[in-house]
A and B are shown apart, each in its own frame.
Chain A
Amino acid sequence: GAGVSQSPSNKVTEKGKDVELRCDPISGHTALYWYRQSLGQGLEFLIYFQGNSAPDKSGLPSDRFSAERTGGSVSTLTIQRTQQEDSAVYLCASSAKPGKLFFGSGTQLSVL
């Protein structure tokens, strides 16, 4: 596909369960970002990858959150022991040029 692909589009889980969110960036884009968007709020930065390394993970809310990127392509955001406050839309973006981000449609996470 031509755009950033995220899966699943919706995820409902129970409090305390682990979840994995996947992002397929645009082919050739070396930079990949994860943002979180809570209802009616702005976009909160979580982590940024350049290739497979993460030079900036300052936005991860707690040690329950982790992310990895393999082969300079697909990235997975993992949330362990989910809490209700983790409910949000998780957006992934990729870019080939600094600042020009292309976003996916996001994963709506609901923690019951």
Chain B
Amino acid sequence: GENVEQHPSTLSVQEGDSAVIKCTYSDSASNYFPWYKQELGKGPQLIIDIRSNVGEKKDQRIAVTLNKTAKHFSLHITETQPEDSAVYFCAASKSNTDKLIFGTGTRLQVFP
């Protein structure tokens, strides 16, 4: 089955700096790659996603890139703010199953 690895497990940055989180997946049939943000005491919330027919997608300060050949994808957050502090999860799925397989999460801390 699919296996998703995520790095780093923790990331500390200064406010205004960029943050990058990387994930790799094992199943070449996976074609949908969402990113979720989980704040303390809450469930994960979808922040951005990308499908395998696209190499990059941006939404304001957040961007995701996908390299199908290497089977890895990354989340980029620019101009980080303290409210970006949370745990971020990447995930992968195949469109015919809908089941998301999640990475182990990255705890991002943005210091003012």
Contacts and interface: CB of A to CB of B under 8 A. Distances in A.
Interface of A: 4, 31, 33, 35, 41-45, 48, 50, 56, 91, 93, 95, 98-106
Q: Bin the interface of chain B by size.
A: 20 to 34
B104 A100 contact: no
Task: Tell me whether chain A's interface is mostly helix, strand or loop, or mixed.
Answer: strand
Interface in B88-112: 89, 93, 95, 97-105
Contact of A91 (B43, B99, B105): B43
Contacts, number: 59
B44 A103 contact: yes
Interface of B: 6, 32, 34, 36, 41-46, 49, 89, 93, 95, 97-105
29 contacts: A31-B98, A33-B100, A35-B102, A41-B104, A41-B105, A42-B89, A42-B103, A43-B89, A43-B100, A45-B99, A45-B101, A50-B98, A91-B44, A98-B32, A99-B34, A99-B49, A99-B93, A99-B98, A99-B100, A100-B46, A100-B49, A101-B34, A101-B100, A102-B46, A103-B43, A103-B45, A104-B43, A105-B42, A106-B43
